[in-house]
């Protein structure tokens, strides 16, 4: 989902103003009936990653429901790189197109959110907490709903789903009691099983997430990850990460001379027996793949007892969106109990909900409780602690360092 970071410098080079972006004709989310009235007949261009058939099908379903319930048309603009949508907004701002923009809603998080927020390219003020379905959101016990990669969301983006890094293996080939329980144990496992593990080449989102997981475990002063990179200490701070990777890479699939293209490629390699351990940012991913026949029913999940990365993914509205009212209605629908329960079903997507079940009425709560999460999905108490995502500045820097040291064109 996450594309290449559109750097602050690149945006600044476009000559963008830092003036407030509020528009006189913007819809008022506190007056929800007026939002619904304004949204009727609008077409929302939803820019979202298009690399998964089940996610695309879910977005199509959401669009059908919006058309039926609210008279709003949703067009899924399929992205392979979220930064492409950000770049459209940047270009439109540079051209003075402050109204009638081509991007109405973006599936976004992390670096791209930080970039757009800093340059005030997002619809404001706080609209998220004014959405009617915000009342069901579990922001009290899920701190990643209020911060995105340590950056306060400030009501500029609405949560859509949860994510946590989880590893998968085929128990028919690799017994569960042989699986590693930390990054250091993974390295020791790779020494015993050369060629049986790999990760996608950064800046692929899953590959970059692996770098962050290792960094979070090996950096000496973990508090540094909550702040921007300190140039004076950066080399020393990341030295343990690259020492780890220097040891790991000769043990990777194809000796680290090539990398899986992305998570679907890793999944296929697990199914084909080329890899023994893969990972994803969705605890239900393995069960969903078993139901679709992409993985054998002997695949199981595991995680590290010391914790793995966790975050929330969001949707955001650009400051110059043409269909702001329709975008608000879509964002609100995406956090409805109906939409969230369907999304958490592994047969549909398997994406964890951002809602608090205790806030739902009995019938909505029952819909979640009736879900069969699948044989390979870990229960919440087995997922282990959640590690916070590092400040976005770290991702850009370690991706750049990775390319200098190991960059390979597959």
pLDDT tens, position by position, 274-303: 999 999 998 989 998 998 899 999 999 999
Q: What is the pLDDT of residue 409?
A: 56
Q: How far apart are CA 313 and CA 318, in angstroms?
A: 16
Q: What is the pLDDT of residue 382?
A: 86
Q: How far apart are CA 59 and CA 65, in angstroms?
A: 10
Count of other CB atoms within 10 angstroms of residue 308: 25
Count of other CB atoms within 10 angstroms of residue 77: 17
What's the whole-model pTM score?
0.77
Q: Which CATH number fits domain 166-310+387-406: 3.40.630.30, 3.30.2000.20, 3.40.190.10, 3.30.1370.60?
A: 3.40.190.10
* Mean pLDDT of the region 140-167: 92
DSSP string over 235-295: HHHHHHHHHHHHHHGGGSGGGGTS--SSHHHHHHHHHTTS-SEEEES-TTHHHHHHHTTSS
Could you tell me which residue, 14 or 174, shows the higher pLDDT?
174
The per-residue pLDDT of the chain, averaged, comes to 91
* Mean pLDDT of the region 210-222: 97
Q: What is the pLDDT of residue 22?
A: 44
Domain ranges of the chain: 8-160+313-375, 166-310+387-406
pLDDT at 34 over 70: yes
Q: What are the tokens at 384?
A: 């282990």
pLDDT at 306 over 70: yes
Q: How far apart are CA 365 and CA 30, in angstroms?
A: 26
Angle at which helix 111-118 crosses helix 82-94, to 10 degrees, equals 10
Q: How far apart are CA 256 and CA 407, in angstroms?
A: 10
* Mean pLDDT of the region 59-79: 98
Question: Which residues on neighbouring strands pair with residue 99, listed in sequence order?
Answer: none
pLDDT at 14 over 90: no
CA neighbor of 229 nearest in space, from 111, 87, 387: 111
Q: What is the pLDDT of residue 410?
A: 56
pLDDT 10s digits, 223-250: 999 999 999 999 999 999 999 999 999 9
Question: Is it true that 8-160+313-375 and 166-310+387-406 share their CATH fold?
Answer: yes
pLDDT at 271 over 90: yes
* Mean pLDDT of the region 182-204: 97
Q: What is the pLDDT of residue 227?
A: 93
Is 3.40.190.10 the CATH classification of the domain at 8-160+313-375? yes
């Amino acid at each position: 989902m996450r594309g290449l970071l559109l750097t602050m410098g690149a945006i600044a080079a476009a000559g963008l103003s830092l003036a407030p972006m509020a528009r006189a004709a913007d819809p008022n989310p506190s007056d929800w009936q007026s939002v619904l009235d304004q949204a009727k007949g609008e077409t929302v261009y939803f820019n979202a990653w298009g690399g998964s058939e089940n996610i695309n099908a879910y977005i199509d379903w959401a669009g059908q429901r919006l058309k039926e319930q609210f008279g709003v048309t949703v067009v899924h603009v399929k992205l392979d790189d979220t930064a492409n949508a950000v770049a459209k907004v940047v270009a439109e701002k540079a051209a003075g197109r402050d109204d009638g923009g081509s991007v109405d809603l973006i599936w976004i998080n992390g670096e791209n959110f930080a970039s757009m927020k800093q340059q005030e390219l997002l619809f404001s003020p706080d609209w998220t907490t004014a959405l009617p379905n915000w009342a069901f959101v579990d922001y009290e016990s899920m701190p990643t709903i209020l911060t995105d990669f340590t950056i306060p969301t400030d009501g500029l983006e609405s949560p859509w789903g949860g994510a946590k890094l989880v590893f998968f293996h085929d128990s028919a080939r690799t017994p569960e009691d042989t699986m590693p329980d930390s990054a250091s144990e993974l390295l020791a496992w790779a020494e015993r099983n050369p060629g049986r593990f790999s990760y996608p080449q950064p800046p692929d989102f899953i590959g970059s997430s692996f770098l962050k997981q290792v960094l979070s475990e090996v950096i000496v002063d973990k508090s540094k990850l909550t702040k921007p990179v300190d140039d004076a200490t950066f080399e020393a701070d990341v030295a343990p990460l690259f020492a780890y990777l220097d040891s790991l890479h000769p043990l990777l699939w194809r000796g680290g001379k090539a990398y899986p293209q992305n998570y679907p490629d890793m999944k296929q390699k697990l199914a084909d027996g080329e890899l023994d351990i893969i990972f994803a940012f969705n605890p239900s991913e393995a069960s969903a793949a078993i139901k679709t026949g992409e993985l054998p029913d002997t695949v199981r999940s595991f995680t590290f007892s010391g914790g793995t990365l966790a975050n929330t993914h969001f949707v955001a509205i650009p400051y110059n969106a043409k269909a702001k009212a329709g975008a608000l209605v879509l964002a609100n629908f995406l956090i409805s109990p109906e939409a969230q329960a369907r999304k958490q079903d592994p047969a549909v997507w398997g994406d964890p909900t951002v809602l608090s079940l205790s806030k739902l009425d009995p019938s909505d709560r029952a819909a979640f409780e009736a879900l069969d999460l699948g044989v390979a999905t870990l229960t919440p108490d087995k997922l282990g602690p959640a590690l916070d995502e590092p400040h976005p500045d770290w991702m850009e820097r370690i991706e750049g360092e990775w390319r200098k040291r190991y960059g390979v064109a597959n």
